[in-house]
Structure 1
Amino acid sequence: MTKTEPDEGPNAVKRPGFTYLFGRTVIGPIARLVYRPTVIGRKNVPREGAIILASNHLSFIDSIVIPLMAPRRVQFLAKSHYFEGTGFKGWLSRSFFTAIGAVGVERGAGQAAQDALDQSKRILDTGAAFALYPEGTRSLDGRLYKGRTGVGWLALTTGAKVVPVGLIGTDQLQPVGTKIPRVRKFTVAFGEPIDVSRYGPAESGRARRQATDEIMAAIHGLTGQELAEKYNEAPPAGAVERVKRALRPERL
């Protein structure tokens, strides 16, 4: 891909700066010394150019583990409220998420989901490495859920190759509901880059689904998780929501 300059204006992409580099330089070596993680396949991550890191998702700490263990700077999306707080707590939250390469975005379905994908595309257009979770949210039971086709759309739209990432043990490192990580061993495996362009244009729902399924199969090959064969989402709140989901052909 051709690297372009970040957009100007309110949607401008903020590249990781000093805070991120300081966090990576200081926190990274400490984390490797304390937790002694097993990192496999770092050579599979291209050192330059746009690349999508598509990972399974087991814990909040995954978004810290990936940037620290990857061989290059990585950006990803995070809930906008992490950047909107006031006072010391708000400053601390903004500083922390900036330090790990996060970009604030509104989360949700429909237009909000498309806006998030558009922001992801802007990041990749700068030639960055961008990480995301095709499952959409954390797996609470350890199974690997069906991938949402946003990752397929993003890869097909930008032409960026996809590096599958398999995280093992991060759910024990920081289980749901805990705030302080435990000292536990974990593994980060980077798979070989995948080119999904052969499936067709991003406008094709079939192409997006096939591309996403190949990416999820590669993640499964790295983690060996039990497959859930369904989307990871809360049960529908009522009859109206059940009908909406039934009529929705695919999830972004």
Structure 2
Amino acid sequence: MLNLITKLVLKPLAKAVYRPVIVGLEHVPRKGGVILASNHLSFIDSVVIPLTAPRQVHFLAKAEYFTGTGIKGAISRAFFTNVINAVPVERTDYRSAAASLEQALEILQSGKAFGIYPEGTRSLDGRLYKGKTGVAWLALTAGVPVVPVALEGPSEILPVGRRLPRIRQVTVRFGKPLHFDELHGQARSARARRQVTDEVMAAIHELSGQELADSYNELPKAA
């Protein structure tokens, strides 16, 4: 029921209020497993992509969003489960990170669309950071295409430290699918993973035009 409300009410309402500019919808396969790999500028990115994509997109989200109590907890669970189709994961160490990739792989192997941010965390300075190779592992293991996505404007809707979103226009660009058939099955090769990840990040950069940062984007020490 809530998924139907999202499709029939929330999507049209959000588009009417924010009037997003959406480019390249024809590049997103309408069926079959596919990875949507996007730059990451704001918490609200995981809302923007599902509301503008032509098919349901699944994301991973930290388990704390699903375990709250009371009304606030119920609203959080409903939002992450039905609006952004999120799957709860623990993100405490390497083992939990590996388990997250396995969950993402199951989503792809069931023929669904999966959204991922290769940078790992939000870019607070607007630059595009080096991609981590989880996106390549998924693409090479599942044998699915990667659609590069570039977001522009989400950080203006919900800047860091702000609780309520502002009305600002956002642009979403979906690029042509990247296929890595010649490398399928080489997910264990660090060289292959790096090659695929760099190609994905280059495609995102071409769409976004962001300044490149020659380093990984790490979480602040306080986090």
**Normalising by structure 1, what TM-score?**
0.84
Q: Which 4+ residue blocks in structure 1 deviate beyond 3 angstroms?
A: 234-237
Rounded to whole Å, the distance in 2 between the matches of 1:24 and 1:145 is 33
Are positions 1:60 and 2:43 aligned together? Answer: yes
Which of residues 12, 30, 35 in structure 2 aligns to 1:47?
Answer: 30
Instruction: State the match for 1:241 in structure 2.
Output: none
Segments of structure 1 that go 5 or more residues without pairing to the other structure are 1-17, 238-252
Q: The residue matched to 2:191 in structure 1 has which SS?
A: helix
1:106 CA displacement: 0.7
**2:148 is the counterpart of 1:164:** yes
The 3-state SS of whatever aligns with 2:172 is: strand
Aligned to 1:126: 110
Question: Looking at CA atoms only, which structure, 1 or 2, has the larger radius of gyration?
Answer: 1
Cα gap change, 1:39/1:198 in structure 2, threshold over 3 Å: closer, same or farther? same
Percent sequence identity is 59
Partner of 1:185 in structure 2? 169
Partner of residue 148 from structure 1, selected from 125, 132, 139: 132
Is 1:224 matched with 2:209? yes
Deviations 1:158-184 (A, max 9, x none): 001000000011111111111111111
> By how many angstroms is 1:236 displaced?
6.8
Distance 1:108 1:226 in 2: 30
> What SS does the aligned partner of 2:87 have?
strand
**Cα contact 1:45–1:193 (8 A) shared by 2:** yes
Q: What RMSD over aligned residues (CA atoms) do the two structures have, in Å?
A: 1.3
Letter in 1 for 2:112: A
2:51 partner amino acid: L
1:213 aligned onto 2:198: yes
Corresponding residue pairs, total: 220
In the alignment, the residues of structure 2 paired with residue 172 and residue 93 of structure 1 have an alpha-carbon distance, to the nearest angstrom, of 22
The Cα shift of 1:235 comes to 6.3
Q: CA deviation at 1:234?
A: 3.8
Indicate the residue corresponding to 2:78 in structure 1: 95
